[in-house]
Amino acid sequence: MSRVAVAKTYKLYVGGKFARSESGRSDAVAGANVPRASRKDVRDAVKAARGAQAGWAARTAYNRGQVLYRFAEALESRSGEFGDDVGEAVDLLVHYAGWTDKLAAIMGGINPVAAPYLSFSTPEPTGVVAVLAPDEPDLLGLIREIAPALAAGNTVVALISRSSPLRALDLGEVAGVSDVPGGVLNLLSGRIEELLAPLCGHRDVNAIVDATGDPERAQEIDELAAETVKRVSRPAPDGDPLARLEAVTELKTAWHPVGV
């Protein structure tokens, strides 16, 4: 006797859980109903990211690298389902997993001063990072921007590809089984014209990574960021990995008196 396959219900990934859009709306994309996130979903995702940020940043750099490596392992195990470019996406996660315990040595250091003081700088995460992922490539483009933010100790609220969101939503399932703490990575699908202002203008978002490549929206994003003095970066697809890390990292400098 033949059976009817269970149709997959795509959901948002917020706070380590799979949630339907608060509005109940969806868009038909690639033969599937994709949840259409609302302003309330954005607020919930930012709240989850803010709640998880201190704990994620407090972990040792080595431990964050282990979690990202496990994320890569879990994605590799499902590579047959994700298809094209998943190998490069896995490699990117492994690459940034290796960066976590090297940031302090490369970005920090002792600063020479002509005074009886010791001055040194150490890198710290920026906080909650909003990632506006490109439409294409959908999976690789998303991981290219979230991996450095996570490696640096930030939490992420990502607006995924609008034209091809299915694989990006599936990435939430991978994160859910790969030791990524709830709230550290949040994935929203929906219409950018509805979500841009509530996400980029949210006062609990500390930085924006704009990888949309859309010059028409750049001014709007910059204006929203300026209201709360957020840093905005627009990395090139083939940009330097260290530059991506620097864009979501702050340097804290301390001074200590030395000698008599």
pLDDT value for 259: 64
Quick one: pLDDT at residue 260? 52
Rounded-to-integer distance, Cα 225 and Cα 192, Å:
16
Contact 97, 73 (CB under 8 A): no
**Among candidates 146, 156, 144, which has minimal Cα distance to 182?**
156
**pLDDT per residue as tens digits for the range 52-75:** 999 999 999 999 999 999 999 999
Residues 130-144 have pLDDT tens digits of: 999 999 999 999 999
> Measured between alpha carbons, how far is 129 from 69 in angstroms, rounded to an integer?
21
Write down the pTM of the prediction: 0.93
**Does the pLDDT at position 119 exceed 70?**
yes
How do strand 117-125 and strand 185-188 relate by DSSP bridges? unpaired
Q: Return left, alpha or beta for 24; rule: phi > 0 is left, psi -120 to 50 is alpha, else beta.
A: left
Give the span between the Cα atoms of 69 and 90, in whole angstroms. 9
As given in the structure block, the two tokens for residue 237 are 């697809």
- With beta carbons less than 8 A apart as the criterion, state whether 126 and 53 touch: no
Domain boundaries, the chain: 12-257
The percentage of the chain sitting over the pLDDT mark of 90, rounded to a whole number, equals 80
CATH architecture type of domain 12-257: 3-Layer(aba) Sandwich (3.40)
